[in-house]
Amino acid sequence: MFCLHVCMHACVYVYHVHTGAFGGQKRISASLELELQMAMGHKVLETEPGSSALATAVISYDYLTSLRSVPYGSEEYLQRRSQVHLRSARRLCELCCANRGTFIKVGQHLGALDYLLPEEYTSTLKVLHSQAPQSSMQEVRQVIREDLGKEVLVLAVKQLFPDFEFMWLVDEAKKNLPLELDFLNEGRNAEKVAHMLKHFDFLKVPQIHWELSTKRVLLMEFVEGGQVNDRDYMEKNQIDVNEISCHLSKMYSEMIFVNGFVHCDPHPGNVLVRKRPDTGKAEIVLLDHGLYQVLTEEFRLDYCHLWQSLIWTDMERVKLYSQRLGAAELYPLFACMLTARSWDSVKRGIGQAPVTATEDSEIRNNAASYLPEINKLLNHVPRQMLLILKTNELLRSIETTLGTRSSASSFLNMSRCCVRALAKHRKRDACSFFRRTQISFSEAFSLWQISLHELLLRVKGLRLACWVSALLGWLTQAPR
């Protein structure tokens, strides 16, 4: 896991900070040279001896030599940097495909970070979401024969993928990996989340065929659809991207804040969209149920309080609940990581104004410079938080691709779920009927406030649209 962190994470992030590839300093530091020497000399995966270290060395050398003699910030520098980004991304993609397993999952995760990584990386690595290396039919048939005692033609067999990307997750990997590789457990997770979210008519979880499933073979209903980040597919099939984004927000807010049972691998290859054959309504198809995070009640309630405080700009409570979740003095950074907004925006109120292109660019350019603080923070927060952060990143990446990050719907859905979850907890602990009734009225009033706020935002948006339409009409009719 150390070699994985050095090869992938240091290569894609740390090296670029020191060389200025992501907009940092131009000169390479002595400490980085030592890191690269360690990376190149460290033993890597047994399946491909030396391949990770070699890829790290080649990519590092490419950045160092290609950008060394070019004035930083010049047009030539930007052009060369883009070319090196693309070459490096292709090498990383080849490395992932060669080593498979955990490396595929790393590549899938990096390919979803549109809001953080250069476009050359994300566009190249996105191929791993739907075109990852597959086992041969001979390998598939062998596993099926061993587990079912007969040869069955299966259209889709789940790949054996361990999941964790970062070295902070070693302990979690040891605990969760056996469950991820147990397809009976995956089938149970699928049925549990389908039952848990059965009130969402827009969600489809493929049915499990238990009679043909074992710990190593999972046979599921085949469901077609396009990837959730495929805007062309949605336009062709007349699926509203804003509706899909809103549905995703509702679904994951319910999982995280209300139920504490969270699907933690929502990269675009695992979330499909389609028109329902019977009703023609838009539907989300959720795949790959091997990795779920079960949140403790204490964590879930603290996380509810924190998001409520962020949404309503209660900075004292933001500090309190961030520190309860292990952020300590780094609570401003923690708030920025959770919201993907600048600290100034957090203090003004994340619901007051949508994220702008300038703010998005600032976050993208500055993220790598905070790696030491981010590393320290991730070593102190509860282990449950790591997969929640990963899930947030993947969902935010989908919103970025769909162009719906500026919408307030996700915050409104989260706020509703927080209100419901906290009210349910208070009513359970209430000692009298009067107190429970009081909490119910308070809950109803808070939900009404959120709905009123949503209505005002819609009216404001419609009014603005009318003004823009009228202005465009006047400009087209004005004499020239």
The residues that are catalytic are: 265
Closest by Cα among 296, 282, 270 to 240: 282
Distance CA 99, CA 326 (A): 35
Query: Per DSSP, what are the bridge partners of residue 286?
Result: 271
Q: Which long-range contacts (CB under 8 A, 24 or more apart) does 175-183 make?
A: 176/291, 179/290, 180/290, 180/291, 181/215, 181/290, 182/215, 183/158, 183/213, 183/214, 183/215, 183/216, 183/217, 183/218, 183/290
CA–CA dist 479, 300 (Å, integer): 61
Token match 């896991």: residue?
Answer: 1
Exposure of 186 in the CB half-sphere (CA atoms within 13 A): 31
Could you tell me the CA-to-CA distances from 23 to 14, 328, 362 in Å, in that order? Answer: 12, 29, 10
Question: Residue 164: what residue type?
Answer: F
User: Element (H or E) spanning 275, and its range?
Assistant: strand 271-275
Widest CA span of the chain, in angstroms? 81
- The label of the residue with tokens 């979210």 reads 197
Backbone angles phi, psi at 286, to 5 degrees: -100, 120
